[in-house]
Structure 1
Amino acid sequence: MKRLTLCLLLFSCLANAQQKIKWPHHKKAVIILTYDDALDSQLKIAVPQLDAHHFKGTFFLTGDINHTNISKWRAAAAEGHELANHTLYHPCNSENMPENPLNASEKYSIYQIMREIYSMNNLLFAVDGKSERTYAYPCTETQVGGKSYVDSLRKSGLIKYARIGGDHDAIITDFKKLDPLLVPSYGLEEKTPGAKLIDFVNKTEQSGGMGVFMFHGVGGDYITTAADAHKELLSYLAKNRKDIWVATFQQAMDYISQANKQD
């Protein structure tokens, strides 16, 4: 009898550990559309395409926002898009971004990167009036000066959730082990076709998990996703909105955090 009870307890623990999260309104999965670097093509093409389908994106902005576009970003925020932190100057390892030697992340200190994040939070507050902020590590690097700043970010309280990189297999299903400051994403390559974007959505839906897209340029700029491919993805998501929840990064992570507390 004791052995049977022990087996039942073990089975129960394993079942709970593998239990998939229940998405709102009986959705099967969640997709998050994120866009890096505050690019003009995002305002000109991505935002209007998102608005046409009533979807909200997450835009990781840098200090490159200026007097010519801040009003447009403010308008996007007013429509429900999330404005998120991507540092002021986008420090990146000089091997990955040799054209920007003054902002080589290997020369940064943790103090410098934290100060940039703090200052960018203040700039974003001036744009949208919000105090809670999410973050994406520039060039998906979690280190500066050869040292990780993830724990410093965690202790600072400046950032609620943070996104890292990944590939087309970066589908999240184990939410109990998900570090809210190390959330993986699908970093797109230049001119990724719409069919491949939709394939990632299908795999996410089949897993019952969460898939995070990392876009840069849309129909222009760099690491460009063609406008038609982006539109194809959004049209597919719109046709399947009954089963797929398209959320901002903070919305989805808030939901997951609350669900984990209730387990």
Structure 2
Amino acid sequence: MKQCWIQSQRSLVFFVCALLTLNGPAMAQSSFQWPANIKAAVSLAYDDALDSQLDVAIPALNKHRLKASFYLQLSNPSVGARMAEWRAAALGGHELGNHTLFHQCSGAQPDRAWVQAHRDLESTSVAQMKDQILLANAMLYAIDGKRARTFTAPCGDRRARGVNYLDSIKDDFVAIKAGAGSAVTPSMAALDLHAVNVHAPVGMSGKQLIDLVKAAAAQGTMLNLTFHGVGGDYLTTSRQAHEELLAYLSTNRDTIWTDTFLNIATFVQTQRAPK
């Protein structure tokens, strides 16, 4: 009798553990909540420190009272030549994020003939990447006086000499964007804040951009868009499409939370903290 009782208890424990394993992600997803009445968060990011971002994107964002993240490639001439404007953007509530000093990408990937040999991830070590990324943090601190920072990997590439260099800098950033993927986060429960997929909406219309916002709201998750040129420069999104997106986000600010990636990631961290 005692042996049967022990066996039944073991079976019960196994059943409960299996149930928790199967339902854990769903339970975690259902327990995640955005601030009151918010259906989704939207992170608007702008890479490379381009002139069109200062000339077009930031004035448009300010007009609609929306905050965004600007990932500065610190060797870009616009950083030095227009530093007062970048500093003003930070003072106005926009985030200045780390996009490395020299925008190293892998020259081994398709359509990467533009990658310079001395800035090729295929010949750059993890230690070298970490050194210059931390130096970039120090330079950003000199611009905006802030310590908390997020990072976007140039080209979405994660490996230096075949080794994931992001693992070496995780402790230095609240969150990291790296790798192309779905613009809409499929699950807040499964989201790795140090490997957030991004989508570059090159040439997309305003309607297409707005449809992505609606998709994120339907799932209750997050939308990550990474722009480059706006109405100019390269990998361009038209000024009209950008304006239509911002107008929609502004009109629906009561249910769509548009903010810096740093602020959104910090909120996600607090939701995951033990209660």
Q: Please, what TM-score do these two structures have when normalized by structure 2?
A: 0.87
Residue 225 of structure 1 corresponds to which residue in structure 2? 237
Q: Distance in 1 between matches of 2:31 and 2:180?
A: 21
1:164 deviates by 1.5
The one-letter code of the counterpart of 1:153 is: I
1:20 deviates by 5.4
Q: Distance in 2 between matches of 1:216 and 1:14?
A: 34
Q: Distance in 1 between matches of 2:243 and 2:31?
A: 30
Contiguous gaps of at least 5 residues in structure 2:
1-8
Deviations 1:80-106 (A, max 9, x none): 000000000000112443233221111
The one-letter code of the counterpart of 2:19 is: L
Equivalent of 1:98 in 81, 105, 113: 113
- SS of 2:71 mapped into structure 1: strand
- SS of 2:79 mapped into structure 1: coil
Q: Distance in 2 between matches of 1:248 and 1:83?
A: 9
- SS of 1:67 mapped into structure 2: helix
Equivalent of 2:43 in 17, 25, 32: 32
Q: Distance in 2 between matches of 1:117 and 1:15?
A: 36
Residue 79 of structure 1 corresponds to which residue in structure 2? 92
207 and 116 in structure 1: CA distance in 2 versus 1, 3 angstrom threshold: same
Amino-acid identity (%): 37
Instruction: Report if aligned partners of 2:183, 2:212 keep a CA contact under 8 Å in 1.
Output: no
Instruction: Report if aligned partners of 2:79, 2:86 keep a CA contact under 8 Å in 1.
Output: no
Instruction: Report if aligned partners of 2:123, 2:161 keep a CA contact under 8 Å in 1.
Output: yes
1:162 has 2:176 as partner: yes
Task: Map 1:174-189 onto structure 2 (within 5 A).
Answer: 174-189=187-202
Residue 109 of structure 1 corresponds to which residue in structure 2? 125
- SS of 2:169 mapped into structure 1: helix
Q: Please, what TM-score do these two structures have when normalized by structure 1?
A: 0.91
Instruction: Report if aligned partners of 1:47, 1:76 keep a CA contact under 8 Å in 2.
Output: yes
Instruction: Report if aligned partners of 1:20, 1:173 keep a CA contact under 8 Å in 2.
Output: no
124 and 199 in structure 1: CA distance in 2 versus 1, 3 angstrom threshold: same
Q: Distance in 1 between matches of 2:31 and 2:247?
A: 27
Q: Distance in 2 between matches of 1:106 and 1:14?
A: 37
- SS of 1:241 mapped into structure 2: coil
Instruction: Report if aligned partners of 2:66, 2:258 keep a CA contact under 8 Å in 1.
Output: yes
How large is the Cα RMSD of the aligned pairs?
Answer: 2.3
Residue 211 of structure 1 corresponds to which residue in structure 2? 223
Q: Distance in 2 between matches of 1:15 and 1:137?
A: 30
1:195 deviates by 1.0
Q: Distance in 2 between matches of 1:70 and 1:58?
A: 16
The one-letter code of the counterpart of 1:179 is: D
Compare 61-70 and 221-230 and name the one that shifted more: 61-70
Q: Distance in 1 between matches of 2:238 and 2:195?
A: 28
1:226 deviates by 0.3
Q: Distance in 1 between matches of 2:149 and 2:246?
A: 25
The one-letter code of the counterpart of 2:267 is: Y
Instruction: Report if aligned partners of 1:60, 1:136 keep a CA contact under 8 Å in 2.
Output: yes
